[in-house]
Copies of this chain bind each other. A is one copy, B any other.
Amino acid sequence: MTALKLIPRKEFERAGDDLGLLADMCRANALVAVKRAGSGHLGSSFSSLDIVAHLLWRELNVAELGWDDPDRDIFFSSKGHDVPGLYAALHALGEIPTERLLRLRRLGGLDGHPDIGVPGIEANSGSLGMGLSKGRGMAWAKRYLDRGGIVVVMTGDGELQEGQNWEALASAAHQRVGNLWAIVDRNELQSDRPTEEILALGDLEAKLRAFGSHVEVCDGHDHDALAAAFASMRAAPADVPKVLVANTIKGRGVSFMEHPRALRDEAFARAHDELVDRIEQRLPDLQLEEVPPLEERVSLEGEPESGAGTRSAVTDEYVAAAYGEELLQLVTRHPEVVVLDADLASDCRVRTVELEQPSRFVEVGIAEQDMVSMAAGLARQGLLPVVNSFASFLASRANEQIYNQASEGTKVVYALHYAGLIPAGPGKSHQSVRDISLLGALPNVTIVQPVNAEETRALLRWAIEDAEESVAIRLAIGPSPRRTELDGGLQPGRGSVLRDGDGPTLLAYGPVLVHEALVAAEALAARGVDLRVVAMSWLNRFDAEWLEELGEEEDVFVLEDHAPVGGLADGLRRALDGRARVTAFGVEGWPACGTPPEALRAHELDGLSLAARIERATSLAPSP
């Protein structure tokens, strides 16, 4: 691998106010940061970077006033996927130090999605559709507090499929919040496919005007056109919210990146060369700064976008892939099964269903609430919907819709992808450590998480063919750190012993933390403690006999790929009713952003930390 090279800050000063050049320079540095991180959304960063550069270097007062001034203009991205580009711009403006830019998606570095812990970041975002409401709150507050500055919120175009945007726009017009600007990065591509195919926006201008905004449209890479559009927005009535639809090209700035979604290794180098060549034409004798090597290799662990890196414990097993394969078979076998997706078909491994069984696949766009209620309607007609999204979005944003569906007593299978702490690079908007708690109080939803590919297939078959109520299946999105084997077939409500022992019992679920549990057992074995490791894939349903056996233990340890509140341990304590003492190790506080080992260590959930915690807990436990 050739060394990575960054454009240092002083070179940006030489670029003067050549906005196109500045944007390209930010592209080059964003590319390096993402390359080093191993993952990140480049296409979205590149489409928005001309706009970001134009705003920060020319249109807004924030770089001049600084990010602490109450009268500053506020800019943030609602989609948040484009944050590597914004980081590069904030670095160029001196707000983010070089060392931190080079720690994208690393512990103590820059979060994979915007977080206000990072200098220059004005709002947490990354889960789509909240930005216009939040920006309106800021703009309303500025008016109330008699503060200067406008609030500019960047949204994606696919993002406008989230209904909250239309709530926000209607209110912005009604409340006459004219110091709110929205900029739609209209690159016409969303996560999976062109916006027109996923869920066409139709006459977007007409929609925005009907919702009461002043609307401008321009080429989002043409700085003269941007300047004219912003001037028109300044000239528009003060009490009307403004929207700029900026037509852009995803991946803009690198010829072969304009449109494809991810970049493999060698492509990174070619992209960087192309950008640097063009920058050098306008900035001769460009000085690049070599980036020091990382202290450790970076792991990917199933990031939605590709990159490089390895981790010692990684197999080629993906439970999510097994899910997709088995689902395709089940769809083929059962004509009542219909698969729903909210623009994450690739990540959720349902693309093959879409391609091979198109009549059984429903794409709703980025609209999780709509997806769940539509599924409820399908189920009322006797179909069996399988609903897919990331756990953090599905269990949370569509929570009331799931409650409503469950209250009808129909059956829906919810596939909660990307459940748990890992991968930790995308940050807290994407890590799902609350989903068990969010579904746990529904009377008729079984929650499970398979530990390996084989169990994934078995659980999905059971959910579709045998379960008598709705089922939520948590799925790890990344590769399994080790291959495990379970004895016997599926045993509802019972754990499977993965490592027998006469020491205390540790229950764990999901491939990632079951691996850490086994690492802990190996570490403890060396110290003479013979930990029993049980994979417990049933997170809220317990077989009475199995519970009886468990209740005979003195101490039961539970490893949660979840917050300590509302997970497996809470359910077990309830069911054990005082038998056995249950000690849980879960994700305390906000999930850490970083590589898998960093995040696991930060929460003391890696095998070695666990071994120490279990040893401490057992030696401190009162004797019977």
Contact = CB atoms under 8 A, between A and B. Distances in A.
B367 A167 contact: yes
B428 A140 contact: no
Interface string A122-149: 1111010111011111111110110100
Given A133-B374, A165-B163, A122 B570 contact: no
A134 B359 CA distance: 19
Given A211-B207, A404-B127, A574-B565, A136 B374 contact: yes
Interface in A355-399: 359, 362, 364-365, 367, 369-383, 385, 392-393, 396-397, 399
A161 B168 contact: no
B378 A137 contact: yes
A367 to B, nearest CB: 4
Nearest to A437: B441
27 contacts: A116-B380, A123-B408, A124-B407, A124-B408, A130-B400, A133-B374, A134-B377, A134-B380, A137-B376, A137-B380, A137-B385, A138-B377, A166-B166, A167-B365, A167-B367, A170-B202, A171-B374, A173-B202, A174-B365, A203-B210, A392-B400, A438-B441, A441-B563, A443-B563, A565-B574, A573-B574, A578-B581
Contacts of A407: 115, 124, 428-429, 590
Interface in A534-557: 540
A99 to B, nearest CB: 24
Most buried by B among A162, A171, A199, A371: A171
Nearest to A383: B141
A206 B376 CA distance: 29
Contact of A137 (B167, B359, B374, B392): B374
B202 A378 contact: no
A133 B369 contact: yes
Interface string A165-186: 1111011011100000000000
A119 interface: no
Given A380-B134, A381-B141, A403 B396 contact: yes
Contacts of A582: 578
A170 B211 contact: no
Interface in A417-446: 428-429, 433-434, 437-438, 440-443
A588 interface: yes
B127 A400 contact: yes
A171 B144 contact: no
A380 B429 CA distance: 18
A122 B410 CA distance: 12
A231 to B, nearest CB: 26
Contact of A362 (B140, B151, B588): B140
Most buried by B among A167, A364, A392, A399: A167
A263 interface: no
* Copies held by the complex: 2
A210 B203 CA distance: 6
A98 interface: no
A164 B362 contact: no
Interface in A546-596: 562-566, 569-571, 573-574, 577-578, 581-584, 588-590
A173 B59 CA distance: 38
A401 interface: yes
B565 A440 contact: yes
A210 B202 contact: yes
A212 interface: yes
Contacts of A400: 127, 130, 392-393, 396-397, 399
Given A574-B564, A581-B578, A171 B130 contact: no
Most buried by B among A144, A166, A364: A166
Contact of A365 (B171, B203, B382, B566): B171
A129 B370 CA distance: 9
A137 B428 CA distance: 32
A338 interface: yes
A308 interface: no
User: What 6 A-B pairs are tightest by C-beta distance, nearest first?
Assistant: A137-B377, A163-B163, A133-B373, A141-B381, A167-B370, A167-B367
Given A162-B167, A163-B163, A374-B133, A441 B200 contact: no
A211 B376 CA distance: 23
Contacts of A364: 167, 171
A525 B369 CA distance: 50
A180 to B, nearest CB: 10
B141 A382 contact: yes
